[in-house]
């Protein structure tokens, strides 16, 4: 065998080696992710019917923090006394059972697309008349599990909500519509909803509303001290500004 052959053999061998090493590193990483998922959610490991414990593993209620992004307000109808919105809705809570080793920061989070794999808060919109999820092309939902056991659930939804309007002063009035949320089955002993600290509600810039203008919004809590389900809500204050201008004009004309 000549030295040329010898050189090429070594070259070939080393390149094979490095290629398989690189492959191995990648495969190991994905496999790690699968291993972690099997470890925390595998058969017999996790029961999605059991709620997470309270803060620091106590017996207190599970705390779920809510925030949402108003993507659009499609309609406000004073005839049907309802309005419809499209939201990105997020809930975040800690489930100690889902903690995992992040392999020196390489596993930032795990993503699930099936909500039934982990425990989920049973929140519902109590003034909802109609609602739907977005399923084009795939359901617009994800669940992220962070190494510290924090779970983030994010979903895009469209809702039509009841908004009883007081039309006594019509059309000069300012209407207040709300978005109310509560747990369907848990009491405050087990589950507490809180608004996310900071900026829990964001509204898309350049929100266009036919006839109405969104003046302001407020987040709040229902003030029930009983052991019933806790409820949180947003007030949206809208005013009929266009009509207001029209009326000013008419009033002036009448004088």
Ligand X SMILES: *[C@@H]1O[C@H](CO)[C@@H](O)[C@H](O)[C@H]1NC(C)=O
What whole-number distance in Å separates Cα of residue 88 and Cα of residue 71? 7
CB of 21 or CB of 55, closer to ligand X: 55
CB of 92 to ligand X, least distance (A): 7
Binders of ligand X among residues 87 to 116 (CB under 6 A) are 94
Q: Please state, in angstroms and rounded to a whole number, the distance separating the CA atoms of residues 69 and 225.
A: 28
Nearer of residues 56 and 104 to ligand X, judged by Cβ? 56
What is the x/- site pattern for ligand X, positions 210-249, by CB under 6 A?
----------------------------------------
Are 185 and 120 contacting, i.e. CB atoms less than 8 angstroms apart?
Answer: no
Among 150, 154, 158, 187, binds ligand X (CB under 6 A): 150
Please say which residue, 89 or 125, places its beta carbon nearer to ligand X.
89
Binding flag, residue 183, ligand X (CB under 6 A): no
Specify the residue, 109 or 235, whose C-beta has the smaller distance to ligand X: 109
Contact call for residues 151 and 121 (beta carbons, < 8 A): no
Our CB check for ligand X shows the closer of 100 and 186 to be 100
15, 18, 39, 148: which one contacts ligand X (CB under 6 A)? 148
Three-state SS for 233?
Answer: strand
The closest of 204, 235, 206 to 218, measured between CA atoms, is 235
- CB of 87 within 8 A of CB of 68? yes
Task: Provide the 3-class DSSP secondary structure of residue 80.
Answer: coil
Sign of the CA dihedral running 204, 90, 230, 146: negative
The only residue of 3, 56, 116, 226 in contact with ligand X, by rule CB under 6 A: 56
Helix or strand (DSSP H, E) at 17: helix 3-41
Tell me which stretch binds ligand X (CB under 6 A): 65-73, 132-140, 146-154, 245-253.
146-154
Residues that bind ligand X (CB under 6 A): 55-56, 94, 146, 148, 150
């Amino acid at each position: 065998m000549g030295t040329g052959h010898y050189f090429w053999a070594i070259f070939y061998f080393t390149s094979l080696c490095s290629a398989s090493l690189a492959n191995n590193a990648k495969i190991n990483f994905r496999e790690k992710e699968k291993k972690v998922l099997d470890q925390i959610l595998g058969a017999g490991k996790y029961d999605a019917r059991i709620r997470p414990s309270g803060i620091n593993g106590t017996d207190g209620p599970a705390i779920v923090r809510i925030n949402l992004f108003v993507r659009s307000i499609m309609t406000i109808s004073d005839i049907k006394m309802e309005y419809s919105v499209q939201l990105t809705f997020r809930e975040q809570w800690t489930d100690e059972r889902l903690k995992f080793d992040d392999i020196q920061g390489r596993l930032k989070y795990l993503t699930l697309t099936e909500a039934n794999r982990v425990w989920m808060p049973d929140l519902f919109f109590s003034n909802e008349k109609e609602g739907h999820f977005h399923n084009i092309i795939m359901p617009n939902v994800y669940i992220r599990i962070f190494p510290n056991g924090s779970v983030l659930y994010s979903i895009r939804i469209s809702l039509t909500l009841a908004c009883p309007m007081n039309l006594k002063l019509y059309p000069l009035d300012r209407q207040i519509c709300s978005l109310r949320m509560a747990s369907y089955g848990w009491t405050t002993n087990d589950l507490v909803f809180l608004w996310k600290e900071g900026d829990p509600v964001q509204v898309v810039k350049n929100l266009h509303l036919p006839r109405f203008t969104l003046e302001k919004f407020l987040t709040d809590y229902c003030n029930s001290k009983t052991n019933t389900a806790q409820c949180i809500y947003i007030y949206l204050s809208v005013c009929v500004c266009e009509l207001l201008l029209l009326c000013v004009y008419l009033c002036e004309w009448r004088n």
